[in-house]
Amino acid sequence: MRLLLISNSTNPGENYLAHAKNQIKDFLGEKKQQPVFIPYAAVTFSFAEYEKKVNEAFADIGHHVIGIHRFDHPAEAIENADAIVVGGGNTWHLVKMLQDNKLIEAIRKKAKEGTPYIGWSAGANIACPTLKTTNDMPIVEPAKFETLSLIPFQINPHYTDEHPTNFSGETREVRINEFIEVNRNVFVVGLREGTMLLREDNALTLIGNRNARIFKYGESPRELSYEDDFTFLLSESE
C-alpha cells in the first residue's frame, strides 16, 4: 500500500496545499497522472468548485485531477484510477456519499492493490478503521461508522494542544482520552497541522517539523518526531 495522509490543506499565510505540494509530487512521481478526485466532503460549495481548487494547486506539480462526480459509473472510475485523491471537509458527509455510491470497498480494494492514495483532513480520517476520531459535526447520518481500514490505527487531523483562556469545554486530548477509554486496543495519532504520514508498504513515517502525539489506553501520551519509527502502529492489528 502507498498512502499519503495529510493533516490539513492550508497553513496560515500559505496557498492551498502549498505545504504538501512537494510531498504530493514525490509521491505521485514524475509520470503525469490524472488521479480521480473525491470531493464528497464539500458541503457549502460545489464539487466542481472543489475540483477546480485542487487543480489550481496540482498544476504547479504537473498533475491534474478529475472529479468522481463527472463519471456516470463512479465505482468503475475508481477501478480504472491511476491514483485516488480525497479532499477534506465534513467527514460525515464524505462517508455517507461514499456509502451511497458504493465506493468504500472499491477504494479499499484499489488502495490495497497498491494504487496511490492521498487524503487530507477528512480524506486522511477515512483511511482509518472508523470515522470516530473526526472533529466534524455529524450533519448527516451514514449507515455505519466503518471506513477504509487502510491503516489499523486512528488519526485525529488538525490535532491541537490549545486550550483558550475562558474556554470551559473539553480539549482535544480530553476527547481522545474518552475514545481510548472505550476503544482500548486502538492507537490514536494526533496529527498536527503541517504534518503528514507516509505509508510505503509496511513502513510508516512522519513528514513535517512538528511532532505527532500518540495515544493508547493505559499509556502516557507520547510525542514522536519525523526521526522516530512509526511502523509499530501498523503491526498492532494487521
Per-residue pLDDT of 9-43, as tens digits, reads 999 999 999 999 999 999 999 777 789 999 999 99
Q: What is the pLDDT of residue 170?
A: 85
Q: Average the pLDDT over 81-97 and give the result.
A: 97
pLDDT of residue 34: 82
Calculate ∠ Cα 63-68-70, nearest 5°.
100
Mean pLDDT of 139-162: 96
Measured CA to CA, the distance from residue 172 to residue 214 in angstroms comes to: 13
What pLDDT is recorded for position 238? 40
pLDDT at residue 108 is higher than 60: yes
Per cent of the chain over pLDDT 90 is 92
Q: Which residues are catalytic?
A: 121, 136, 158
Report whether pLDDT(71) > 50.
yes
Can you give the residue ranges of every domain in the chain? Answer: 2-235
d(CA 146, CA 81): 23
Q: Which three cell numbers stand for residue 50?
A: 472543489
Instruction: Tell me which of 31 and 78 has the higher pLDDT.
Output: 78
Give the chain's end-to-end CA distance (angstroms, integer).
13
* Phi, psi of 211, rounded to the nearest 5 degrees: -75, 160
DSSP string of 46-70, one letter each residue: -HHHHHHHHHHHHGGGT---EEGGG
Contact 36, 81 (CB under 8 A): yes
Helix (H) or strand (E) holding 174: helix 172-182
Other beta carbons within 10 Å of 96:
18
Residue 24: beta bridge partners? none
Helices and strands (H and E) in the chain: how many: 8, 11
| pLDDT(154) > 50 | yes
- Residue 166 parent element (H or E): none
pLDDT at position 237: 46
DSSP 8-state symbol, 18: G
What pLDDT score was predicted for residue 165?
73
Q: What number does CATH give the domain 2-235?
A: 3.40.50.880
Residue 214 pLDDT exceeds 70: yes
192-208: average pLDDT: 97
pLDDT at residue 16, rounded to an integer: 96
Query: How far is the C-alpha of 206 from the C-alpha of 90, rounded, in Å?
Result: 24
> What pLDDT was estimated at residue 70?
97
Query: Does residue 131 have a pLDDT over 50?
Result: yes
**pLDDT, mean of residues 154-159:** 98
Are 207 and 195 contacting, i.e. CB atoms less than 8 angstroms apart?
A: yes
pLDDT at 166 exceeding the cut of 80: no
Q: In this predicted structure, what is the pLDDT of residue 191?
A: 98
